[in-house]
A and B are shown apart, each in its own frame.
Chain A
Amino acid sequence: MKKTFALSLAAALMATTVPLSAETLRWARSGDALTLDPHAQNEGPTHTVRHQMYEPLIIRDVTGAFEPALATDWAPSTDDPNVWVFNLREGVTFHDGSAFTAEDVVFSFERAKQPNSDMKELIGSITEVRAVDDYTIEIVTDGPNPILPSNLTNLFIMDKDWTEANDTVNVQDFEGGEITFATTNANGTGPYVLQSREPDVKTVMTRNDNYWGIDQFPMQVTEIVYTPIQNAATRVAALLSGEVDFLQDMPVQDLDRVNNADGLVVKQAPQNRVIFFGMNQGADDIEADNIDGKNPLADVKVRKAMSMAINRDAIRQVVMRGQSQPAGMIAPPFVNGWTADMDAESSTDIEGAKALLAEAGYADGFSIRLDCPNDRYVNDEAICQAAVGMLGQIGVTVNLDAKPKAQHFPLITDGKTDFYMLGWGVPTYDSEYIFNFLVHGRESDIGTWNGTGFDNDDLDAKIKSLASNTDLDARNADIAAIWRVVQDEALYIPIHHQVLNWGMAEKVGIEVDPEDQPKVKYFTMN
């Protein structure tokens, strides 16, 4: 008996001795990836997790510059201005060992154009993807598209055979609650291989030793353990106690505490993301208010008044503790089309807002429900609560309904909310991306995140023409004109641009990426 105990103790001790080269990155943030299906949800944290396992043709490196991934080089065709030619990387294999070829790229693009795909706005201009040979593809667009490469940095390539064999050719219907094989399994070409996944609990990935770039990138992390921790205090406690090495979504109130702790650092950078409220102006009557027979949000004066009630400086100083920059437009400063003038167009004026409301016939105000996520953006629920108070000052009574993002986002894409919070990052660094998702009228393959009901055919035509406009000056003039309409319509209520804070153990070497999209292959662990 005693002997067996001693033996098992020795065995346990041996099991805990890890070889020196093994480095586990314990990584936490507030929420989990919504799904692993590469084309089902175009959402930041979801892409971030996928980026470890799947790869697009092109990625952005830590500085935001293009870096070849599955494509080695790309250029517009010399014969046809509507065609881009991509040369693919040779000798790449998927995690299951099958070879990566042009066939997989063609398949993945077709999959990403399916009705359930959330990536279709990004490739709306693509009419055909053809394989010239095993390692060359041509992408045909419905007009010259100078910025096509920037639309492909989150468009992941799947293995055609694996997808077909596992009956997951159709993109998961995320809003409908469907679960497919690809939702919880992954077979990419990426630097890390999925080992296990429990949604909202834990995802474990190990290093892909057959990765094509294993000698080009640090790749010092051999295992990733990713745990979502929704509660801010628990999350920071986990970092302080050494339970995690790397923390995204650092609570702004705890920056000093982490910075002053031994062996921990906070790295900071302005984020390519703007936070704002959307209002359903399109419906004749909305469910979430107390006014029958008409929709107060349909009146631009009401929308302007609501924007004027928001005190962005107070939110910055108190809720965000300085970790934000008040916004006047829903484009981050990184984006082509952003102007300092438009970004300064928001102001706080309670009396003016009241007067505008009265002019619109709502002198007594009205009540409305605000849908808000509580595990997605920095202090999202607290911002919404602050907005409740500020709107209350002009007589708009707001009932706040805060819930996890997995329940919040479908409300927007299904058109089930009339007043909501949303944040938008712009991976293409161009306004067209914002217009395609948030300004263009909602159709099956465009405007899918536009929950405002705004639909202006002239503007839609102008937005569509941006993709094939090769005259950059004329294109920029069109972008400015579209922004003017968005601003004058008060289509959205901009709040602020987020500042990004990553907390980490000193041994973790990584610089903050403005897209909040850490790619673990760049991490060093010394």
Chain B
Amino acid sequence: MSEIPVPVRPKSRLRIALESDVFFSFRRSPVAVASAVVVLILVLSAVFAPLIATSNPFDPASLNLMNGFTPPMQPNAFTGETFLLGTDDQGRDVYSTILYGMRISLFVGAAAVAFAMVLGITLGLISGYVGGWTETIIMRTADVQLTFPSILVAMLIFGIAKGVTPVEYRDQMAIWVLILAIGLSDWVQFARVVRGATLVEKNKEYVQAARLIGRTPGAIMLRHILPNVLSPVLVIATISLALAIIAEATLSFLGVGAPPTQPSLGTLIRIGQGFLFSGEWWILFFPAVTLLALALSVNLLGDWLRDALNPRLR
């Protein structure tokens, strides 16, 4: 009987992450930690909105119009009800509406970035790896689109989509159209970065080796090149997330985004700005502060990530 060798326990993934350079730099950056905490709180409260909100503002039947324009922490003159952050013009509790509205903002932002990322990476990989006419067509299209401000492109796409969807489905479709519009206006950056990195990677030896053993171009792009070009993509994705949240708020503010019966943060700000002169500041103020906190902290996280992943700054 031979002795059973004691297996060396491999380090767990968490352990690897905690010992990594990136995490070290994260712990060293108070801005990054603070931003991450803010983002975490906001995301968690959006996810668990049905549990922590006091009412469901998306259910019009539950609203009492007489509660309209109640100031924060003061009882309503007619109904006597009190609301933490006051109510808007329809009697919706601003606190609950922010939670539910943030769900829309975050979901649209994340989904739009995911969509832009998939589209941009695919087109970037193909144009970088294949080259020739394919590259020319894809990248010139990207250049043309880059000459238009992305909010304009998003509005154009939104307008066309609104024109072709039947009116009955418009409200349900609005969110998906927003995602499509913001995603399509945002893929160019991903494509350009990925193409650039692919051009560098594709001549390296490991790619040539993979080609020699007969791997297909698709497999080479996905399994060999992609993992090596991902880190700049992560940075762009984080910053894009902040931009996408703002783009959604902008579109909704302009009245072309989320429907008024299902307000996102931008819709709330649009409603609130009508009451700035008359003194009902809370309808605009709280959603605006939430949007500011969300966009700013995601942006700061993106900034930190860019520095952390940049070998020259290490």
List A residues at the B interface (Cβ < 8 Å).
231-233, 236-237, 240, 251, 253-254, 256-257, 287-288, 311, 314-315, 317-319, 369, 381-382, 385-386, 388-390, 392-393, 395, 398-402
Contact = CB atoms under 8 A, between A and B. Distances in A.
Given A382-B89, A385-B261, A389-B63, A319 B168 contact: no
A389 B168 contact: no
B75 to A, nearest CB: 15
A253 B168 CA distance: 32
B213 interface: no
B273 to A, nearest CB: 5
27 contacts: A231-B274, A233-B273, A236-B277, A237-B277, A251-B274, A253-B275, A253-B277, A253-B278, A256-B278, A257-B278, A311-B65, A317-B66, A318-B66, A318-B89, A319-B65, A369-B167, A389-B65, A389-B91, A392-B59, A392-B62, A393-B61, A398-B60, A399-B171, A399-B261, A400-B259, A400-B261, A401-B170
Nearest to A258: B277
A401 B65 contact: no
Residue among B63, B259, B277 with max Cβ neighbours from chain A (10 Å): B277
Contacts of B171: 399
Interface string B55-71: 00001111101101100
Contact of B89 (A237, A319, A392, A399): A319
Residue among A240, A251, A253, A256 with max Cβ neighbours from chain B (10 Å): A253
Interface residues of B, number: 28
A35 B278 CA distance: 33
B166 to A, nearest CB: 9
A385 B92 CA distance: 11
A232 B274 contact: yes
Contacts of A256: 278
B82 to A, nearest CB: 17
Contacts of B93: none
A386 B92 CA distance: 11
Nearest to B68: A318
Contacts of A251: 274, 278
A240 B61 contact: no
Nearest to B67: A318
B90 A382 contact: yes
A319 B68 contact: yes
Contacts of B273: 233
Contact of A392 (B60, B68, B168, B276): B60
Interface in B140-176: 167-168, 170-171
A233 to B, nearest CB: 5
Interface in B27-84: 59-63, 65-66, 68-69, 78
Given A253-B274, A253-B280, A385-B260, A390 B168 contact: no
Contacts of A318: 65-66, 68-69, 89, 91
B65 A390 contact: yes
Contacts of B59: 392
A394 to B, nearest CB: 8
B30 to A, nearest CB: 39
Contact of B60 (A231, A236, A389, A401): A389
Interface of B: 59-63, 65-66, 68-69, 78, 89-91, 167-168, 170-171, 259-261, 273-280
A400 B65 contact: no
A315 B69 CA distance: 13
Contacts of A401: 167, 170
Contacts of A311: 65
Interface of B is mostly: loop
Nearest to A382: B89
A389 B91 CA distance: 10
Contacts of A402: 260
Contacts of A386: 65, 90
Nearest to B59: A392
B278 A317 contact: no
Contacts of B62: 392
Contacts of B91: 318, 389
Given A233-B274, A398-B60, A400-B261, A385 B168 contact: no
A77 to B, nearest CB: 52
Given A232-B274, A257-B279, A319-B65, 14 more contacts: A233-B274, A257-B278, A314-B65, A315-B65, A318-B66, A318-B89, A319-B89, A388-B60, A389-B90, A390-B65, A395-B61, A398-B60, A399-B168, A400-B261
Nearest to A261: B277
Nearest to B66: A314
A275 to B, nearest CB: 16
Contacts of B78: 317
B61 A257 contact: no
Q: Which 8 A-B pairs have the closest CB atoms?
A: A392-B61, A253-B278, A318-B68, A389-B60, A389-B63, A314-B65, A392-B60, A388-B60
B277 A381 contact: no
Nearest to B271: A382
A256 to B, nearest CB: 7
A390 B171 CA distance: 19
A253 B283 CA distance: 14
Nearest to A253: B278
Nearest to B170: A401
Contacts of B168: 287-288, 369, 399
A447 B280 CA distance: 43
Contact of B260 (A287, A317, A381, A393): A381
B66 A254 contact: no
Residue among A287, A317, A381 with max Cβ neighbours from chain B (10 Å): A317
B230 to A, nearest CB: 42
Contacts of A400: 259-261
Contacts of B167: 288, 369, 401
Nearest to A374: B255
A385 B273 CA distance: 17
Contacts of B279: 257
A523 B190 CA distance: 60
B90 A233 contact: no
Contact of B277 (A254, A317, A369): A254
A243 B169 CA distance: 41
Nearest to A256: B278
A400 B60 CA distance: 11
A251 B278 CA distance: 10
A509 to B, nearest CB: 25
B85 to A, nearest CB: 18
Residue among B61, B90, B259 with max Cβ neighbours from chain A (10 Å): B61
A427 to B, nearest CB: 30
A356 B170 CA distance: 30
Nearest to A390: B65
Contacts of A395: 61
Contacts of A315: 65
A389 B87 CA distance: 15
A41 B181 CA distance: 36
A432 B171 CA distance: 39
Contacts of B276: 233
A233 B274 CA distance: 5
A233 B281 CA distance: 13
